[in-house]
């Protein structure tokens, strides 16, 4: 049986930037590190022979009905990889406009109305309007994490870690990189907050944008930035089918 000094269970939608956050978090640790997602994709860094990992990341993507997944992790042995001394939970949320645009652009990721509902579920959990995740879950706005060093330092502190930028700007191969800039390896060169512009006027995207509750939640979490994007999306008259 493997022993994990720290386990972090990550909840995020696909194309939400969470792999960048995970990779940054990994940079805070030394020793053996193990990554696994709910589809049983695995990756290991610095394997050792003593059976003790410094960090185990369990990545849950696109969990609809988060509480059901949390209960399954606690109940089902195959979802647990070893015994963990300390378990943290982290939820990562990107604004819906760029999340959904990146999903539409990515050839292997679905993007339908159910994913708007999923984003809203994550947003309500982020705001603690629901309580599917433990009270001490670390809530991360990807938008702020990417642009604000002070915000990243605060996240490190919540995990009880000394701040590190060792892995900050690397584009990871997990998640197959950027939907829009597939060959880019430096995250500083990614235009992450204007993906929505590519799909303004696109019927599929515009249909997804009709959800008023999504806009309200986005404005609550992402403030004026979300309000301005919402305004720009509907500034030009568009025929929506």
Whole-number pLDDT of residue 231: 95
Q: Stretch 112-140: mean pLDDT, rounded? A: 97
* Residue corresponding to tokens 């990550």: 10
Residue 241 resides in a domain: no
What is the band of 197 on the pLDDT scale with cuts at 50, 70, 90?
very high
Is pLDDT above 60 for 117? yes
Residue 159 resides in a domain: yes
**Three-state SS annotation for the chain:** CCEECCEEEEEECCCCCHHHHHHHHHCCCCCCEEEEECCCCEEEECCCCCCEECEEEEEEECCCCHHHHHHHHHHCHHHCCCEECCEEEEEEECCHHHHHHHHHHCCCCCCCHHHHHHHHHHHHHHCCCCCCCCCCCEEEEHHHHHHCHHHHHHHHHHCCCCCCCCCCCECCCHHHCCCCCCCCCEHHHCCCCCHHHHHCCCHHHHHHCCCHHHHHHHHHHHCHHHHHHHHHHCCCCCCCC
Residue 136 resides in a domain: yes
Range of the domain at 224: 3-233
Residue 99 resides in a domain: yes
Residue 150 resides in a domain: yes
Half-sphere exposure of 124 (CA within 13 A, CB side): 15
More confident residue, 69 or 140: 140
Residue 240 resides in a domain: no
Is pLDDT above 50 for 196? yes
Identify the CA nearest to 164 among candidates 174, 177, 153: 153
Is pLDDT above 80 for 147? yes
Whole-number pLDDT of residue 120: 98
Residue 238 resides in a domain: no
Whole-number pLDDT of residue 42: 84
For residue 226, give the CATH number of its domain: 3.40.50.300
Distances (CA, A) of 204 to 97, 105, 120: 13, 11, 18
Render pLDDT for 7-55 as a digit per residue (tens, 0 to 9). 999 999 999 999 999 999 999 999 999 999 877 678 888 887 788 999 9
Residue 186 resides in a domain: yes
Whole-number pLDDT of residue 168: 83
The rounded mean pLDDT for the chain is 87
What is the band of 76 on the pLDDT scale with cuts at 50, 70, 90?
confident
Whole-number pLDDT of residue 167: 87
Q: Stretch 156-165: mean pLDDT, rounded? A: 97
> Tokens for 222?
């992402």
Contacts of 134 (CB under 8 A, 6+ apart): 89
Render pLDDT for 86-104 as a digit per residue (tens, 0 to 9). 999 999 999 999 999 999 9
Number of domains comprising the chain: 1
Whole-number pLDDT of residue 178: 43
């Amino acid at each position: 049986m493997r022993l994990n000094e720290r386990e972090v269970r990550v909840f995020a939608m696909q194309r939400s930037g969470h792999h960048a956050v995970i990779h940054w978090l990994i940079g805070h640790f030394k020793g053996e590190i193990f990554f696994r997602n709910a589809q049983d994709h695995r990756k290991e860094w610095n394997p050792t022979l003593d059976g003790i990992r410094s960090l185990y990341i369990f990545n849950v993507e696109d969990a609809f009905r988060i509480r059901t997944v949390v209960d399954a992790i606690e109940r089902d042995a195959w979802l647990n990889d070893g015994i963990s001394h300390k378990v943290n939970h982290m939820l990562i949320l990107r604004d819906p406009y760029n999340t959904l645009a990146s999903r539409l652009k990515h050839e292997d990721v679905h993007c339908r109305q159910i994913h708007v509902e999923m984003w809203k579920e994550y947003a309500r959990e982020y705001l603690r309007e629901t309580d599917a995740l433990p009270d001490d879950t670390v809530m991360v706005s990807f938008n702020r994490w990417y642009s604000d060093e002070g915000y990243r330092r605060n996240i490190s502190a919540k995990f009880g870690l000394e701040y590190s930028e060792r892995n900050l700007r690397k584009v990871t191969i997990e998640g197959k990189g950027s939907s829009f800039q597939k060959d880019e390896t430096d995250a500083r060169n990614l235009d992450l907050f204007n993906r929505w512009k590519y799909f303004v006027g696109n019927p599929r995207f515009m249909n997804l944008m009709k959800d008023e509750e999504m806009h309200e939640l986005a404005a609550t979490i992402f403030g004026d930035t979300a309000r301005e994007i919402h305004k720009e999306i509907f500034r030009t008259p568009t025929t929506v089918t």
